[in-house]
């Protein structure tokens, strides 16, 4: 089956083409079915590949497709690499992807762009698969940009809304900033190693200077920052929530945004060599995690909260990467995919029920109206807050443990982040599902549970969110950490915990205790005291206001980049181009005319004057020839 | 012989068109260009199987006393350009099918004449012949712009004409200078290889002078900052087909010229001045991109974007390494297709809505989804998304520049960000959102328009996904040039 | 005086005077025949022609309004400069006496005739064309339009 | 008879004559006087020619003077013809009136 | 030589024809005569390299024959073209004979070997032209043109003579060969006034080819003269003058080039600037052509300048003359047609010519492109040869200047094309072109194109 790895991206591509060309002509049902089946087929193939790989001796198998770019020593074949990392990601992508496709058939049912939606979605899966399956940076980069494109298309799916379009554009451009870093990184890799193929490069990584490796690693990380919404390139992700909710679940939570993690894990060789790079990753990760978590505290849009939470969780993953816990990060990616997809889909279900309303201030008391959604959301919330035995607990704990090992300060920040996470997630939960309904009468009347096509994926994901932790049970429990063993072949320095069991227990206990405490605090705040978020901004205290406004980062960027560029654009055009360079060019022309007109005056028609001119010419000539030496 | 046919056939058809009256012009022109394309493909096929075939080159004495030869050759480099030219011409002719011009026959005749000159420029193996074709290409386009252009065309096309002409005269001086230094058994020679030898024999200072003399011509043609001011105006004012010819093919004369007539000629000059030229190119990239952001007229926006793209091409080529030059070649092909597509889009917008003002348009997507998709694909090609044709070249180019200087590459790379900014912004404003003007109507596309756009889109994707056939040729061509630079 | 006199007739007369002076110089330099021819042609023919025209047109009045003094000044300055540079340019030529060959008879008619009809035969013949064309031209221009 | 006169003298003399003629052409408005001034210039040349002829003891110079005279006569003839024509047309021979053609 | 005699005889015959009232035969006779002269030329070309007549006064060697070939060809077409113009005039025979006499002068200028013949050639060529310039008797402009031409021309003649006198004074001879021998023999021992003489001659010839600052007469005279006469002036006269310059400065005074070459360079530079800049601001096409002829003169002078180090420049000069004559003939013919069809000579008269007469417009455009030096017209190769010659000289700045100013040149030539093709005409009536003019224009156009496409043809024709 591994030989047929090309099938994995092929199926979504076929789905994309069918939907793309005939989407309008076939019925909605058929369109959705084709999309789902293509992903399902992909998933099955991925599963087969995964199994086969597990039994194979060679853990890193290359599948040739065709030759793509050749330029002397630069050979970029279209080649796939099947190894534990890629096969695992394939499973996540196609698996979650399939669930979300199914969910979408329900969620998008009323939308006029139904087939278009699936076209994009299939295309996205295709690119995402390319991203993880490629055997060189360029294939990854294709996928990398491709998913950016799909993200653009899907965020701006409702293209008549200007704000959505702006969000889409912002996402694309911010991603592109990262992509430039990535691309330069790739080029530096090529320049350094003469190749961009993973298997070649990693073998040679030790032979070049650490400085070069650091540069490469940092450049690649810029790419990861863009894609995985890390500081300072994170602002697009919250805006990206403009897209339909399944998109947020699939792209902006479960898969695409984890591409950065994937890429860093893929390149772990570089990061293992370069401490500077690793350190940077860790610091940016933790700062982002903390920063986004604080913003999450005061948001009122259900999807925005989840978006900031995603940013924050991604930061946590980078923290894991930074401290060398690559497999833990992948583990967290997996569990995060489960519970965050679940949360988003749940949120989608809520929004669906509320008829499009996303503001939690206008919700409340939904738990009885939409039971399945509530329960699954609850599971997801618990999972993300890190309570055992839900999956989030294990993955997060593993990262924090490794961080503790590495640096106490980072660990502390990580802890704070996870406490904040627990806070805002439960805030979300309480405000949405408990208390009294605060929406309009119409909405209340309209409330209903989502169709089966939406709830089934919820249930499946909820189940996964509960048991997902089993993939990476802590070693010190005496169990095998399946995940880290699985990934061992692709990681240069597998990182096994060296902490005492007591310390680990202690950390774990601390985490659980703090989470419980926060949940209780939240319960007190929102359930007992019935605190409600302020309706208007001016009711907030200044510091709250600042956080509520996301620290004004967007405004700062606006002032720092957008406005100056707009200004420059006008200035360059109006002043430099038209009034300076072109004016010089035109000025030459004008001065020709001017000189011409002046010289014309010499031609005044008077013979005497002409002769004077001639004589003066003679005088000058003789003067110059004979007298001036 | 095939090579000669490629040049003479359009000329012949052009004469027929000049003579023919009435409305049969467009059919003849289309047929002619399609046949020409088939000839181009034949050359491609032949080259693949028998690159040394004597059908692909031709050499006879033209002016004996000056040792000027009518020497043309289809080699790896020129083949690509010939393919581009012959591929684009039928499309360009097709784009005219929905509007009526005055004197259509003359219009087509000029276009075909232009094709002849362009193919001549690309295939010439004799310095003098190259120059002659170079100038010849200028005249039809000048008339096309002048006779069928928009408002204020007189002054603007004029600037273009004079500007480029002065540039090419400098080139002529440079070439003559080289010619005077050739020595083949006591005779002077215009043959390209002899000019290379002559160039190599010069001192560094002389090479520097020759470098600038020749580079100016190319820089104006491309155009490279700060020689670009003729370009936006001309592109805007020229008729769509003229703009397509200018930007799609003619501009490549400059870049092609750098590859074939500059790099291998003056290696020392390049060493000394290449950096300056690259800096100018890179400044041009950023400068033009930034300007493009605020443009109101879509055509003008494309014009500036073209400056930016060409800046990258020129920077890459001047970096003079395998990746840079090869990327330049690939990007020339890609840019040719994309920019023609974009200008055609602008033309369609103009025809359907009567305006190209980005701010006045909007919401077209909801009126014509197919158009939106095709437009989007072309935009994606222009922003060099992977798996579109623009990417291969752009990657190789940035790679090439990087090998020259990492800082330059970082600046040059800004194009992928800024490109996305202005392209998406304009796409959004034109196509997405709600209609800004309720009177705005956008009916279905004409069949011809659709055919052209679809072909362009297919080309964009096909050569993004599988660039190998062209890429192999580009690689081969680049190798030969690199070898000659030593 | 030729230059500055207001009345053209006076000018002519002054010019004749100048011609005589020049003829004197010719004589000094042993160009006897030339001197005679000079007087005959210039003073005799050309000047008469001038006078004839002047009289014909009745121009012997001081009808000429003077040129603007500025142009005159400029002309004068230009002439002065011209003189200055010419003198500068021609100065420093070695002082050669004109008589280094002693007396000669090159200016005699017989001698001149020989030279003219031997070496200078072609120019002599071709001058006829010149004079003919001048003749034709003058007649053509002088003729009244027949309308 | 001409002992002691150096060629430079004649050189200067004819130069001065030439320049006087030139100044006349430049400064005067009366066309007839213009012609006369040109005659003066030609005479300066003649003088120089003869002087050099004597210097070299070569009769070519004197022959040349004949030709100059012929040409001068021809020029004057044509010139006066044109002049009379102009006079017919504008009843004046003032050069300042002959400035229709300019710029 | 025979050619010269034939033309002289023709002039006489033309006058006789009037006497015998057989005006009709003048044109055929003239054309036949010119063809005869050309044939005679051709035979002389093939028989001997150099025959000298009359004590080395005049020698028709190959360069001379080449130049006279060009002059005769131009004249041939000129006569065809001028046919109808003459018919309007009462003094047909006079005109014919005057033009023919001027041709005699021009031919002499190509072949002189002695200062005497040079001087007489100049005068024989000029005097009929003074008359012809003034030949529109009722038109004060024409009178003025003739007058100006005469005064300035005589002034220049005086300068030329002064120069000749000084040279004679130094060398003791009028013979070109003797002078150049003298130069070679007495290197470093040449009296100063010899150089002054050379400079004076240079100035006189710069006047003849109207190089700045001795160009003042040209625009006025060109404008005032009847169009066809202007055509004659700008083609035949110029070619002849360059033939003379070639012989004088490239052969006789070559050794004294250090004295005059830098001056010449300055003259060229000044001419380029003045002519091109002023031409760009003209409203009259005729005047524009006058200024453009100054700039072409500057280009040809560049060849002379370049000869200092490069002996292949005769080719260039001949080629440039030919190209320039071709272009000018077409341009002036067109101008003539337009002005005889009720238009004036301004740019606006050309408006919409492409509609009124596509043929005329096309050839005019061709001529303009040729004059602007755009391939593949003859003018381009002309420029090319100039550049080739110049590039080895130390005057590279001049070359750059030439390039820049010819950019300006393109501007005004294109203005004509724009007017013809782009602007709309006031009256749309078709332009009537008489057969002879059509013939001339087409032939000249074909030649312009042909020698542009196959310049080797000419090079082979004139192999030295």
The answer to whether E357 and E328 have CB atoms below 8 angstroms apart is: no
Residue in B305, B483, B328 with CA at minimum distance from that of residue B399: B328
Looking at the structure, tell me whether residues A474 and A457 fall in a common domain: yes
Task: Check residue C94 and give its pLDDT.
Answer: 59
- Cβ neighbours of residue A409 under 8 Å, at least 6 residues apart? none
Look at C117 and E223; give whichever has higher pLDDT. Answer: E223
User: Mean pLDDT throughout B138-154?
Assistant: 81
Looking at the structure, tell me whether residues A24 and A125 fall in a common domain: yes
Would you call A172 and B420 a contact, using CB atoms and an 8 Å cutoff? yes
The complex's ipTM works out to 0.79
User: Mean pLDDT throughout A303-319?
Assistant: 86
Neighbours of B482 (CB within 10 A): 18
Residue in E313, E312, E303, E260 with CA at minimum distance from that of residue E398: E303
Report how far residue B232's alpha carbon sits from residue B238's, in angstroms, rounded to the nearest whole number.
Answer: 10
Report how far residue B415's alpha carbon sits from residue E32's, in angstroms, rounded to the nearest whole number.
Answer: 72
E254-279: per-residue pLDDT in tens? 777 777 888 888 888 888 888 888 88
Report if residue C78 sits inside a domain: no
C-alpha gyration radius of chain A = 30
User: Mean pLDDT throughout B35-60?
Assistant: 85
User: Mean pLDDT throughout E21-45?
Assistant: 78
Task: Check residue A536 and give its pLDDT.
Answer: 67
pLDDT category of residue D70 using cuts at 50, 70 and 90: confident
What does the DSSP 8-state code read for residue A205? G
E141 has a pLDDT exceeding 70 = yes
Residue in D26, A622, E159, E201 with CA at minimum distance from that of residue C85: A622
Counting residues of chain E whose pLDDT is more than 70, the rounded percentage is 91
D90 and chain C in contact, CB less than 8 A: no
| Residue A553 exposed, middle or buried by CB count within 10 Å (0-12, 13-18, 19+) | middle
D81 and chain C in contact, CB less than 8 A: yes
Looking at the structure, tell me whether residues A99 and A123 fall in a common domain: yes
Would you call E135 and C140 a contact, using CB atoms and an 8 Å cutoff? yes
The answer to whether A515 and A392 have CB atoms below 8 angstroms apart is: no
The three-class DSSP label of residue A293 is: helix
pLDDT category of residue D102 using cuts at 50, 70 and 90: low
Domain boundary at A548, A579, A605, which? A548
Report how far residue A233's alpha carbon sits from residue A171's, in angstroms, rounded to the nearest whole number.
Answer: 10
The three-class DSSP label of residue D28 is: coil
User: Mean pLDDT throughout B75-97?
Assistant: 87
Report if residue A127 sits inside a domain: yes
Q: Which of B247-256, B272-281, E180-189 has the lowest mean pLDDT?
A: E180-189
Task: Check residue B435 and give its pLDDT.
Answer: 75
The three-class DSSP label of residue B62 is: strand
E173 half-sphere exposure, CB direction, 13 A CA radius: 16
DSSP structure string for B225-273: TTS-THHHHHHHHS-HHHHIIIIIIIHHHHHHHIIIIITTT-HHHHHHH
Looking at the structure, tell me whether residues A132 and A4 fall in a common domain: yes
pLDDT category of residue E286 using cuts at 50, 70 and 90: confident
Determine the distance in angstroms separating the CA of E306 from the nearest CA of chain D, rounded to an integer: 32
Structural tokens at position A360: 């939690």
Calculate the average pLDDT of chain B: 85
| Residue E115 exposed, middle or buried by CB count within 10 Å (0-12, 13-18, 19+) | buried
Determine the distance in angstroms separating the CA of A606 from the nearest CA of chain C, rounded to an integer: 10
Task: Check residue D103 and give its pLDDT.
Answer: 62
* CA–CA distances in Å: residue D50 to residues A575, D4, D62: 71, 17, 6
Report how far residue A131's alpha carbon sits from residue A139's, in angstroms, rounded to the nearest whole number.
Answer: 6
Chains D and B are touching, with contact defined as 3 or more CB–CB pairs separated by less than 8 Å:
no
**C89 contacts in E (CB within 8 Å)?**
192-193, 196
C-alpha gyration radius of chain E = 21
Nearest residue of A to residue C89, measured between CA atoms:
A626
D63 has a pLDDT exceeding 70 = yes
| Of A495-499, B39-43, B291-295, highest mean pLDDT | B39-43
**C71 contacts in A (CB within 8 Å)?**
606, 608-609, 612
Report if residue A219 sits inside a domain: no
Determine the distance in angstroms separating the CA of E48 from the nearest CA of chain A, rounded to an integer: 41
Would you call A585 and B392 a contact, using CB atoms and an 8 Å cutoff? no
Report if residue A217 sits inside a domain: no
Residue in A418, A448, A275 with CA at minimum distance from that of residue A354: A448
Q: Which of B89-93, B400-404, C6-10, D55-59 has the lowest mean pLDDT?
A: C6-10
Task: Check residue E58 and give its pLDDT.
Answer: 78
The answer to whether E12 and E31 have CB atoms below 8 angstroms apart is: no
Determine the distance in angstroms separating the CA of A615 from the nearest CA of chain D, rounded to an integer: 8
Report if residue A356 sits inside a domain: yes
C61 has a pLDDT exceeding 60 = no
The answer to whether A80 and A65 have CB atoms below 8 angstroms apart is: yes
Q: Which residues pair with A359 in a beta bridge?
A: A301
Domain boundary at A256, A285, A310, which? A256
What does the DSSP 8-state code read for residue E235? I
Domain boundary at A548, A577, A607, which? A548
- Cβ neighbours of residue A140 under 8 Å, at least 6 residues apart? A130, A131, A132, A134, A263, A266
Counting residues of chain E whose pLDDT is more than 90, the rounded percentage is 0
Report if residue C31 sits inside a domain: yes
E311-336: per-residue pLDDT in tens? 567 778 888 888 888 888 888 888 88
Neighbours of B15 (CB within 10 A): 13
Q: Which of A492-501, B76-85, C30-39, C86-95 has the lowest mean pLDDT?
A: C86-95
Report if residue D2 sits inside a domain: no
Task: Check residue B158 and give its pLDDT.
Answer: 78
C21 has a pLDDT exceeding 70 = yes
D1 has a pLDDT exceeding 50 = no
Task: Check residue B247 and give its pLDDT.
Answer: 87
Counting residues of chain A whose pLDDT is more than 70, the rounded percentage is 96
Residue range(s) defining the domain that contains residue C13: 1-63
What does the DSSP 8-state code read for residue E351? T
User: Mean pLDDT throughout A465-482?
Assistant: 73
Q: Which of A7-21, A129-143, A488-502, B308-322 has the lowest mean pLDDT?
A: A488-502
Residue range(s) defining the domain that contains residue D38: 7-94
The answer to whether E353 and E419 have CB atoms below 8 angstroms apart is: yes
User: Mean pLDDT throughout B149-155?
Assistant: 77
Would you call E193 and D11 a contact, using CB atoms and an 8 Å cutoff? yes
Residue in A270, A609, B51 with CA at minimum distance from that of residue D95: A609
Would you call C133 and E137 a contact, using CB atoms and an 8 Å cutoff? no
Classify the phi-psi angles of A138: left when phi > 0, otherwise alpha if psi is within -120 to 50, otherwise beta: alpha
| Of A285-289, B96-100, C41-45, highest mean pLDDT | A285-289
**E397 contacts in B (CB within 8 Å)?**
none
A537 has a pLDDT exceeding 70 = no
Number of domains in chain A: 3
C101 has a pLDDT exceeding 60 = no
Looking at the structure, tell me whether residues A369 and A408 fall in a common domain: yes
Would you call B322 and A74 a contact, using CB atoms and an 8 Å cutoff? yes
Would you call B131 and E375 a contact, using CB atoms and an 8 Å cutoff? yes
pLDDT category of residue B426 using cuts at 50, 70 and 90: confident
The three-class DSSP label of residue A85 is: helix
Looking at the structure, tell me whether residues A364 and A506 fall in a common domain: yes
A490 has a pLDDT exceeding 70 = yes
Q: Which residues pair with E51 in a beta bridge?
A: E60
Report how far residue A465's alpha carbon sits from residue A481's, in angstroms, rounded to the nearest whole number.
Answer: 17
DSSP structure string for E230-267: HHHIIIIIHHHHHHHHIIIIIIISGGGHHHHHHHHHHH
Looking at the structure, tell me whether residues A422 and A496 fall in a common domain: yes
Nearest residue of C to residue E122, measured between CA atoms:
C130
Report how far residue A119's alpha carbon sits from residue A31's, in angstroms, rounded to the nearest whole number.
Answer: 9
Nearest residue of D to residue C131, measured between CA atoms:
D74
Looking at the structure, tell me whether residues A247 and A333 fall in a common domain: no
B358 has a pLDDT exceeding 70 = yes
- Cβ neighbours of residue E48 under 8 Å, at least 6 residues apart? none
The three-class DSSP label of residue A80 is: strand
User: Mean pLDDT throughout B264-273?
Assistant: 86
A364 has a pLDDT exceeding 80 = no
User: Mean pLDDT throughout E146-151?
Assistant: 88
Would you call A592 and E408 a contact, using CB atoms and an 8 Å cutoff? yes
pLDDT category of residue C98 using cuts at 50, 70 and 90: low
C2 has a pLDDT exceeding 70 = no
Q: What is the dihedral of CA E135, E136, E137, E138, to 10 degrees?
A: -170
Number of domains in chain D: 1
Report how far residue B414's alpha carbon sits from residue A39's, in angstroms, rounded to the nearest whole number.
Answer: 36
Sign, Cα dihedral of B185, B190, B191, B196: positive
Chains A and D are touching, with contact defined as 3 or more CB–CB pairs separated by less than 8 Å:
yes
Task: Check residue B439 and give its pLDDT.
Answer: 65
What does the DSSP 8-state code read for residue C68? P
C-alpha gyration radius of chain D = 17
Report how far residue A487's alpha carbon sits from residue A328's, in angstroms, rounded to the nearest whole number.
Answer: 10
What does the DSSP 8-state code read for residue E311? T
Looking at the structure, tell me whether residues A360 and A504 fall in a common domain: yes
A51 has a pLDDT exceeding 60 = yes
Distance, C-alpha C95 to centroid of its chain: 27
Residue B360 main-chain phi, psi, to 5 deg: -85, -20
Number of domains in chain C: 2
Mutation target to probe the E interface, by most E beta carbons within 10 A, among A587, A595, A613, A616 is A595
Looking at the structure, tell me whether residues A568 and A541 fall in a common domain: no
Residue range(s) defining the domain that contains residue A437: 329-548
Residue in A92, A59, A62 with CA at minimum distance from that of residue A79: A62
E154 has a pLDDT exceeding 70 = yes
E338-361: per-residue pLDDT in tens? 887 777 778 888 887 877 888 888
Residue in A391, A371, A455, A447 with CA at minimum distance from that of residue A106: A455
Domain boundary at C63, C87, C102, which? C63
Looking at the structure, tell me whether residues A592 and A522 fall in a common domain: no
E464 has a pLDDT exceeding 60 = no
C-alpha gyration radius of chain C = 21
E362 has a pLDDT exceeding 80 = yes
Tokens 């017919």 map to which residue?
D88
User: Mean pLDDT throughout A418-431?
Assistant: 84
Report how far residue E223's alpha carbon sits from residue E345's, in angstroms, rounded to the nearest whole number.
Answer: 9
Task: Check residue C147 and give its pLDDT.
Answer: 40
E431 and chain C in contact, CB less than 8 A: no
Report how far residue B36's alpha carbon sits from residue B27's, in angstroms, rounded to the nearest whole number.
Answer: 14
- Give chains near B: 3+ CB pairs under 8 A: A, E
Report how far residue B144's alpha carbon sits from residue B223's, in angstroms, rounded to the nearest whole number.
Answer: 20
* Partner residue facing B180 (CB), from E391, E408, E456: E391
Report strand pairing: B68-73 vs E50-53.
unpaired
């Amino acid at each position: 089956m591994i030989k047929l790895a090309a099938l994995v991206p092929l199926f979504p591509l076929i789905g994309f083409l069918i939907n793309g060309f005939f989407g309008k002509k076939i019925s909605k049902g058929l369109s959705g079915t084709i999309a789902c089946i293509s992903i399902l087929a992909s998933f099955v193939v991925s599963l087969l590949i995964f199994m086969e790989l597990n039994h194979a001796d060679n853990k890193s198998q290359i599948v040739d497709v065709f030759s793509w770019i050749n330029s002397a020593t630069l050979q970029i074949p279209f080649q796939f690499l099947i190894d534990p990392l890629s096969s695992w990601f394939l499973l996540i992508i196609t698996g979650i992807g399939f669930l979300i496709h199914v969910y979408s058939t329900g969620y998008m049912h009323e939308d006029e762009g139904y087939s278009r939606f699936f076209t994009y979605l299939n295309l996205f899966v295709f690119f995402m698969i390319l991203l993880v399956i490629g055997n060189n940076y360029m294939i990854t980069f294709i996928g990398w940009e491709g998913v950016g494109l799909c993200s653009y298309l899907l965020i701006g799916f409702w293209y008549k809304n200007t704000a959505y379009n702006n969000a889409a554009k912002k996402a694309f451009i911010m991603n592109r900033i990262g992509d430039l870093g990535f691309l330069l990184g790739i080029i530096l890799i090529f320049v350094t190693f003469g190749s961009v193929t993973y298997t070649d490069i990693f073998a040679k990584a030790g032979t070049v200077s650490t400085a070069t490796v650091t540069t490469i690693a940092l450049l690649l990380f810029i790419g990861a920052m863009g894609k995985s919404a890390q500081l300072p390139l994170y602002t697009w992700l919250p805006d990206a929530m403009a897209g339909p909710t399944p998109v947020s679940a699939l792209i902006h939570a479960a898969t695409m945004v984890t591409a950065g993690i994937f890429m860093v894990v893929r390149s772990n060789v570089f990061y293992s060599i370069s401490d500077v790079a690793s350190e940077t990753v860790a610091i940016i990760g933790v700062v982002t995690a903390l920063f986004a978590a604080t913003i999450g505290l005061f948001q009122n849009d259900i999807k925005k909260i989840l978006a900031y939470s995603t940013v924050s969780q991604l930061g946590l993953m980078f923290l894991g990467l930074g401290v060398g816990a690559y497999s833990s990060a992948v583990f967290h990616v997996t569990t995060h995919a489960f519970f965050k997809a679940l949360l988003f889909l749940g949120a989608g279900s809520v929004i669906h029920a509320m008829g499009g309303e996303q503001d939690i201030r206008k919700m409340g008391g939904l738990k009885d109206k939409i039971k399945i959604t509530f329960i699954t959301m609850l599971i997801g919330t618990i999972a993300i807050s890190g309570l055992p035995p839900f999956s989030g607990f294990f993955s997060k704990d593993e990262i924090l443990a490794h961080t503790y090992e590495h640096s106490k300060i980072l660990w502390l920040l990580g802890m704070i982040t996870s406490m904040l996470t627990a806070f805002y997630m439960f805030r979300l939960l309480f405000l949405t599902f408990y208390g009294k309904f605060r929406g309009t009468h119409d909405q209340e009347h309209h409330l209903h549970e989502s169709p089966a096509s939406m709830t089934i994926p919820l249930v499946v994901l909820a189940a996964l969110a509960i048991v997902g932790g089993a993939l990476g049970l802590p070693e010190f429990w005496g169990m095998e950490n399946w995940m880290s063993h699985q990934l061992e072949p692709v990681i240069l320095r597998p990182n096994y915990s060296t902490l005492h069991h007591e310390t680990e227990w202690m950390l774990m206990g601390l985490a659980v205790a703090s989470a419980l405490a926060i949940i209780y605090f939240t319960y007190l705040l929102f359930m007992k005291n019935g605190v409600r978020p302020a309706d208007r901004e001016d009711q907030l205290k200044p510091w709250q206001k600042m956080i509520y406004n996301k620290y004004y980062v967007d405004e700062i960027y606006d002032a720092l980049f957008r406005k100056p560029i707009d200004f420059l654009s006008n200035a360059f055009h109006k002043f430099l181009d038209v009034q300076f360079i072109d004016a010089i060019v035109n000025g030459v022309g004008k001065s020709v005319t001017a000189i011409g007109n002046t010289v014309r005056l010499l031609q005044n028609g008077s013979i005497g004057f002409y002769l004077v001119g001639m004589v003066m010419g003679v005088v000058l000539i003789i003067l110059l020839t004979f007298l001036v030496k | 012989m095939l090579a000669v046919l490629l040049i003479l056939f359009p000329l012949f058809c052009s004469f027929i068109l000049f003579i023919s009256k009435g409305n049969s012009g467009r059919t003849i022109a289309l047929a002619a260009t399609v046949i020409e394309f088939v000839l181009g493909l034949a050359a491609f096929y032949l080259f693949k199987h028998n690159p040394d075939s004597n059908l692909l080159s031709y050499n006879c004495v033209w002016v004996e006393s000056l040792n000027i030869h009518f020497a043309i050759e289809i080699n790896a480099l020129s083949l690509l350009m010939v393919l581009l030219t012959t591929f684009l011409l039928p499309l360009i002719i097709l784009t005219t099918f929905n509007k009526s011009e005055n004197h259509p026959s003359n219009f087509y005749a000029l276009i075909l004449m232009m094709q002849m000159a362009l193919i001549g420029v690309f295939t010439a193996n004799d310095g003098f012949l190259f120059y002659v074709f170079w100038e010849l290409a200028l005249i039809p386009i000048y008339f096309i712009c002048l006779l069928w252009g928009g408002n204020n065309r007189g002054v603007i096309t004029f600037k273009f004409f004079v500007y480029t002409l002065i540039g090419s005269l400098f080139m002529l001086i440079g070439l003559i200078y080289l010619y005077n230094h050739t020595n083949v058994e006591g005779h002077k020679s215009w043959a390209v290889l002899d000019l290379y030898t002559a160039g190599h024999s010069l001192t560094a200072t002389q090479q520097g002078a020759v470098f600038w003399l020749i580079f100016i011509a190319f820089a104006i043609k491309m155009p490279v900052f700060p020689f670009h001011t003729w370009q936006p105006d001309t592109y805007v004012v020229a008729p769509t087909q003229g703009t397509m010819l200018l930007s799609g093919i003619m501009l490549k004369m400059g870049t092609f010229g750098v590859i074939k007539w500059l790099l291998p000629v003056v290696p020392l000059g390049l060493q000394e001045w290449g950096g300056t030229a690259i800096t100018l190119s890179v400044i041009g990239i950023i400068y033009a991109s930034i300007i493009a952001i605020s443009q109101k007229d879509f055509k003008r926006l494309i014009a500036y974007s073209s400056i930016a793209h060409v800046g990258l091409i020129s920077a890459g080529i001047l970096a003079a390494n395998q990746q840079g030059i090869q990327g330049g070649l690939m990007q020339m092909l890609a840019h040719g297709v994309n920019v023609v597509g974009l200008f055609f889009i602008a033309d369609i917008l103009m025809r359907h809505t009567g305006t190209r003002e980005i701010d006045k348009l909007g919401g077209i997507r909801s009126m014509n989804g197919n158009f939106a998709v095709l437009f989007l694909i072309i935009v994606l090609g222009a922003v060099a998304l992977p798996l579109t044709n623009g990417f291969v070249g752009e990657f190789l180019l940035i790679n090439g520049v990087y090998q020259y200087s990492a800082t330059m590459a970082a600046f040059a790379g800004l194009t992928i960000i800024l490109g996305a900014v202005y392209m998406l912004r304009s796409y959004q404003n034109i196509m997405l959102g709600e209609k800004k003007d309720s009177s705005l109507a956008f009916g279905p596309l004409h069949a011809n328009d659709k055919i052209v756009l679809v072909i362009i889109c297919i080309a964009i994707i096909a050569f993004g996904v599988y660039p190998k056939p062209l890429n192999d040729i580009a690689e081969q061509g680049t190798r030969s040039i690199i070898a000659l630079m030593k | 005086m030729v230059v500055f006199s207001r009345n053209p007739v006076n000018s002519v007369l002054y010019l004749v005077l100048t011609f005589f002076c020049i003829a004197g110089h010719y004589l000094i330099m042993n160009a006897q025949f030339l001197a005679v021819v000079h007087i005959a042609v210039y003073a005799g023919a050309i000047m008469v022609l001038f006078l004839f025209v002047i009289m014909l047109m009745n121009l012997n009045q001081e009808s000429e309004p003077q040129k603007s003094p500025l142009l005159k000044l400029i002309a004068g300055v230009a002439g002065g400069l011209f003189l200055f540079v010419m003198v500068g340019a021609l100065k420093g030529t070695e002082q050669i006496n004109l008589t280094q060959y002693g007396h000669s008879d090159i200016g005699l008619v017989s001698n001149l005739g020989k030279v003219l009809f031997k070496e200078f035969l072609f120019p002599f013949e071709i001058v006829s064309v010149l004079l003919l064309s001048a003749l034709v031209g003058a007649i053509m221009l002088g003729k009244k339009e027949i309308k | 008879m001409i002992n002691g006169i150096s060629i430079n003298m004649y050189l200067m003399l004819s130069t001065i004559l030439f320049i006087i003629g030139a100044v006349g052409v430049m400064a005067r408005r009366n066309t007839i006087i213009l012609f006369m001034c040109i005659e003066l210039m030609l005479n300066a040349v003649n003088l120089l020619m003869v002087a050099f002829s004597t210097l070299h003891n070569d009769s070519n110079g004197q022959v040349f003077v004949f030709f100059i005279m012929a040409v001068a006569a021809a020029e004057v003839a044509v010139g006066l013809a044109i002049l009379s024509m102009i006079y017919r047309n504008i009843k004046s021979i003032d050069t300042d009136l002959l400035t229709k053609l300019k710029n | 030589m025979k050619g010269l005699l034939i033309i002289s005889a023709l002039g006489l015959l033309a006058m006789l024809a009037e006497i015998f009232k057989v005006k009709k035969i003048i044109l055929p006779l003239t054309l036949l005569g010119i063809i005869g002269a050309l044939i005679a030329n051709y035979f002389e070309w093939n028989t001997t390299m150099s025959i000298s007549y009359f004590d080395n006064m005049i020698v028709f060697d190959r360069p001379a024959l080449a130049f006279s070939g060009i002059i005769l060809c131009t004249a041939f077409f000129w006569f065809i073209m001028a046919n109808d113009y003459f018919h309007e005039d009462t003094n047909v025979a006079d005109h014919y004979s005057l033009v023919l006499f001027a041709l005699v002068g021009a031919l002499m200028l190509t072949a002189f070997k002695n200062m005497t013949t040079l001087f007489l050639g100049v005068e024989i060529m000029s005097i009929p032209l003074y008359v012809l310039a003034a030949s529109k008797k009722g038109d004060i402009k024409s009178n003025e043109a003739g007058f100006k031409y005469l005064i300035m021309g005589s002034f220049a003649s005086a300068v030329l003579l002064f120069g000749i006198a000084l040279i004679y004074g130094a060398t003791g001879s009028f013979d070109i060969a003797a002078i150049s021998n003298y130069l070679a023999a007495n290197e470093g021992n040449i009296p100063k006034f010899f150089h002054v003489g050379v400079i004076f001659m240079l100035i006189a010839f710069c006047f003849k080819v109207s190089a700045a600052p001795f160009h003042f007469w040209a625009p006025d005279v060109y404008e005032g003269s009847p169009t066809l006469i202007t055509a004659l002036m700008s083609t035949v006269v110029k070619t002849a003058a360059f033939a003379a310059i070639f012989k004088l400065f490239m052969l006789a005074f070559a050794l004294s080039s250090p004295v005059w070459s830098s001056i010449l360079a300055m003259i060229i530079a000044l001419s380029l600037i003045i002519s091109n800049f002023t031409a760009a601001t003209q409203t009259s096409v005729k005047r524009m052509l006058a200024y453009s002829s100054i700039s072409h003169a500057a280009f040809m002078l560049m060849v002379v300048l370049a000869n200092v180090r490069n002996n292949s420049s005769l080719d260039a000069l001949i080629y440039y003359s030919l190209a320039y004559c071709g272009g000018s003939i077409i341009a002036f013919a067109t101008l003539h047609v337009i002005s005889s069809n009720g238009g004036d000579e301004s740019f606006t008269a050309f408006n919409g010519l492409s509609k009124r007469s596509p043929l005329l417009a096309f050839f005019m455009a061709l001529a303009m492109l040729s004059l602007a030096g755009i391939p593949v017209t003859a003018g381009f190769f002309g420029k090319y040869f100039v550049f080739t010659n110049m590039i080895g000289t130390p005057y590279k700045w001049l070359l750059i200047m030439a390039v820049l100013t010819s950019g300006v040149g393109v501007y005004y030539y294109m203005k004509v094309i724009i007017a013809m093709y782009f602007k709309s005409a006031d009256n749309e009536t078709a332009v009537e072109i008489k057969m002879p003019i059509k013939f001339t224009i087409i032939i000249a156009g074909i030649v312009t194109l042909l020698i542009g496409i196959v310049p080797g043809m000419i090079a082979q024709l004139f192999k030295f």
